């Protein structure tokens, strides 16, 4: 009978591994495990996802470019930018003349993003940093987006609050919330549509609008309330906030960004600003 227990044990272990790594993608094991998994899949990520450029343009690039149309050179933040999907969708829109900052925790996803956005290299910057603490001051960006990332963070509500903090009043928030069968296997990381909207309503947001996205997601659009201030493109070092002391505005010297207040140094490695210790 021992073999029965061995088989049962292996089945349970296999199920647990599939749940933790296959479905939840490491989210219950911490951000470092999530980033490590994305480092592994980065070279084949776009192929696995099978992005359809036409759909990306129609549902993402065009509506976001239209929403930002009144701003001559908008500044957009993409949180959990992965291989640069949002940047590509926006840069292909002729009416979009803005700049994009991408933040992600996976070095290899960022390396792919850098490669994929080469034609627009002067309008895009990538930073390796955990989304839970964004290295920017309040009211900085004209739009903040985060696609298919929230469920992989330990505290999705805190990450949304952080995104709203760096979004300027009048700016646009675009964020996905995972729904469907697999979402139920990720308790504490996902919300029902009603729960997510109710949570967003507690934040300084208005015009909250939900639309379907990629079968397993809601795509939620909202606008930050308040009199418009902030936003617009500025040199990256001017909008960086030192994660150690909170000083706004770092000094760029060749391949280093240094905090003039506490002296902390953040390296630019292979074109990516490393702000994670
Ligand atoms: C499913 S991918 C989505 C990538 C991209 N937004 C897209 O739609 O193709 C999730 C991304 O979130 C990133 N990520 C996960 N947890 C993160 C965290 N705590 N901070 C920053 N990025 C994170 C992963 O490294 C990965 O690139």
Collapsing DSSP to helix, strand or coil, 275 comes out as coil
> Which residue out of 40, 152, 166 has the highest number of ligand 1 atoms within 8 Å of its CB and is therefore the one to mutate?
152
| Residue range of the domain that includes 77 | 53-234
On whether both 198 and 263 belong to a single domain, the answer is no
- The verdict on residue 1 lying in a domain is no
**Tokens coding 50:** 């099978």
> Which residue out of 39, 105, 163, 277 has the highest number of ligand 1 atoms within 8 Å of its CB and is therefore the one to mutate?
105
Residues of the chain with pLDDT under 50: none
On whether both 128 and 249 belong to a single domain, the answer is no
- DSSP track, 135-156: SS-TT-EEEEEE-S-GGGSS-H
Q: Write down the pLDDT at residue 266.
A: 97
- The verdict on residue 21 lying in a domain is no
Q: Which atom of ligand 1 is nearest to the CA of 78?
A: 6
- The verdict on residue 204 lying in a domain is yes
> Which residue out of 34, 59, 214 has the highest number of ligand 1 atoms within 8 Å of its CB and is therefore the one to mutate?
34
80 Cα: distance to centroid of ligand 1 (angstroms)? 4
On whether both 81 and 158 belong to a single domain, the answer is yes
On whether both 263 and 194 belong to a single domain, the answer is no
Task: Tell me the pLDDT tens digit for each residue of 143-198.
Answer: 999 999 999 999 999 999 999 999 999 999 999 999 998 899 999 999 999 999 99
Residues 167 and 100: beta-carbon distance below 8 Å: no
> Is ligand 1 within 6 A of the CB of residue 81?
yes
Collapsing DSSP to helix, strand or coil, 199 comes out as helix
Q: What is the largest CA-CA distance in the chain?
A: 73
On whether both 120 and 253 belong to a single domain, the answer is no
- Which alpha helices (H) appear in the chain, and where do they start and end? 2-17, 31-49, 53-56, 62-67, 85-91, 107-116, 156-166, 181-184, 193-201, 236-239
Nearest Cα residue to atom 14 of ligand 1: 80
On whether both 57 and 122 belong to a single domain, the answer is yes
> Is ligand 1 within 6 A of the CB of residue 163?
no
> Is ligand 1 within 6 A of the CB of residue 109?
yes
> Is ligand 1 within 6 A of the CB of residue 35?
yes
Predicted TM-score (pTM) of this structure: 0.95
- Per-residue exposure over 220-258, b if at least 16 CB sit within 10 Å of its own CB, e if not: bbbbbeeeeebbbbeebbebbbbbeeebbbbebeeeebb
231 Cα: distance to centroid of ligand 1 (angstroms)? 24
> Is ligand 1 within 6 A of the CB of residue 26?
no
- The verdict on residue 191 lying in a domain is yes
> Which residue out of 23, 82, 158, 178 has the highest number of ligand 1 atoms within 8 Å of its CB and is therefore the one to mutate?
82
On whether both 193 and 62 belong to a single domain, the answer is yes
- DSSP track, 210-263: EEEETTTEEEEEEEE-SS----S---HHHH-B-TTT--B--EEETTEEE-TTT-
Residue count of the chain, please give it: 277
- In DSSP terms, 203 is beta-bridged to none
Domain count along the chain: 2
């Amino acid at each position: 009978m021992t073999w029965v227990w061995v088989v049962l044990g292996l089945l349970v272990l296999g199920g647990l591994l599939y749940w933790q790594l296959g479905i939840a993608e490491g989210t219950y094991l911490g951000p470092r495990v999530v980033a490590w998994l994305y480092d592994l899949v980065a070279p084949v990520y776009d192929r696995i996802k099978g992005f359809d450029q036409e759909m990306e343009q129609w549902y993402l690039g065009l509506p976001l470019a239209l929403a930002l149309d009144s701003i001559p050179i908008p500044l957009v933040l993409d949180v959990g930018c992965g291989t640069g999907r949002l940047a590509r969708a926006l840069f292909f829109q002729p009416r979009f003349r803005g700049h994009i900052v991408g933040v992600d925790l996976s070095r290899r996803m960022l390396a792919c993003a850098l490669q994929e956005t080469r034609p627009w290299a002067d309008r895009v910057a990538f930073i390796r940093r955990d989304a839970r603490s964004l290295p920017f001051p309040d009211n900085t960006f004209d739009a903040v987006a985060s696609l298919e990332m929230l469920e992989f963070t330990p505290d999705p509500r805190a990450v949304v609050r952080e995104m709203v903090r760096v979004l300027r009043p009048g700016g646009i928030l675009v964020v996905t919330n995972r729904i469907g069968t697999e979402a139920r296997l990720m308790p504490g990381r996902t919300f029902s549509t009603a729960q997510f909207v109710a949570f967003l309503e507690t934040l300084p947001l208005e015009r909250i609008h939900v639309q379907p996205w990629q079968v397993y997601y809601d795509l939620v659009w909202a606008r930050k309330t308040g009199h418009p201030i902030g936003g617009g493109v500025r040199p990256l070092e001017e909008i960086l906030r030192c994660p150690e002391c909170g000083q706004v505005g770092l000094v760029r010297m060749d391949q280093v960004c240094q905090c003039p207040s506490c002296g902390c140094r953040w390296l630019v490695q292979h074109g990516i600003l490393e702000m994670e210790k």
